[in-house]
């Protein structure tokens, strides 16, 4: 389980263990005892739990630590700030990997757009070899783009 996103007033946890309804209910019960002003939205199919809280009452780091302690209690694992640090550290690699995937996808879209334009210009000029090469570059960029979105395409 990791903290996927954290902004003032909202904290989202993700993890395969949250697809288990019993574990999700246990974590929800612990978080409900944490503060009655918190509200939860669970998505067991996606394995996520969103915690909504009053950002005027709690700082982001304070809520992250409290949720990490609750996650440790619900799973029977470690409690305290160590659990918060573990959850926060787990979010960093996931966030940087997601950023890298988005950046690769952005470059793939630029490459598709550019190679398609070049391919059309070369086709209009009658340069068959250049047209075929730029078309191949378009297909490579398209493959990278489709690989990025394969889960949505195959679902």
Ordered DSSP codes for 4-34: EEEETTEEEEE-GGGGSHHHHHHHHHHHHHH
Give Cβ neighbours of residue 67 (< 8 Å, ≥ 6 apart). Answer: 3, 11, 13, 31, 34, 51, 84, 87
Q: Residue 126: its pLDDT value, please?
A: 94
User: Which one is predicted more confidently, 12 or 36?
Assistant: 12
Distance, CA of 34 to CA of 55 (rounded, Å): 15
pLDDT tens digits for 82-131?
A: 444 444 444 445 556 777 888 888 999 999 999 999 999 999 999 999 99
pLDDT tens digits for 23-81?
A: 888 887 777 777 666 788 888 888 888 988 888 888 888 888 888 877 775 555 544 33
pTM of the model: 0.48
Q: Residue 37: its pLDDT value, please?
A: 67
Q: Residue 78: its pLDDT value, please?
A: 43
Q: The tokens of 136 are what?
A: 């191949």
């Amino acid at each position: 389980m990791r903290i996927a996103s954290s902004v003032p007033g909202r904290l989202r946890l993700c993890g395969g263990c949250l697809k288990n309804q019993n574990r999700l209910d246990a974590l929800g019960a612990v978080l409900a005892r944490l503060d009655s002003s918190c509200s939860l939205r669970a998505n067991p199919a996606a394995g996520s739990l969103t915690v909504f809280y009053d950002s005027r009452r709690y700082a982001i780091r304070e809520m992250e630590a409290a949720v990490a302690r609750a996650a440790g209690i619900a799973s029977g694992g470690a409690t305290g700030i160590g659990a918060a640090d573990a959850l926060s550290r787990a979010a960093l690699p996931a966030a940087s990997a997601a950023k890298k995937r988005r950046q690769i996808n952005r470059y793939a879209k630029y490459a598709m757009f550019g190679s398609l334009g070049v391919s059309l210009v070369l086709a209009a000029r009658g340069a068959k070899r250049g047209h075929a090469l730029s078309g191949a570059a378009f297909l490579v960029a398209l493959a990278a783009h489709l690989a990025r979105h394969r889960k949505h395409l195959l679902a």
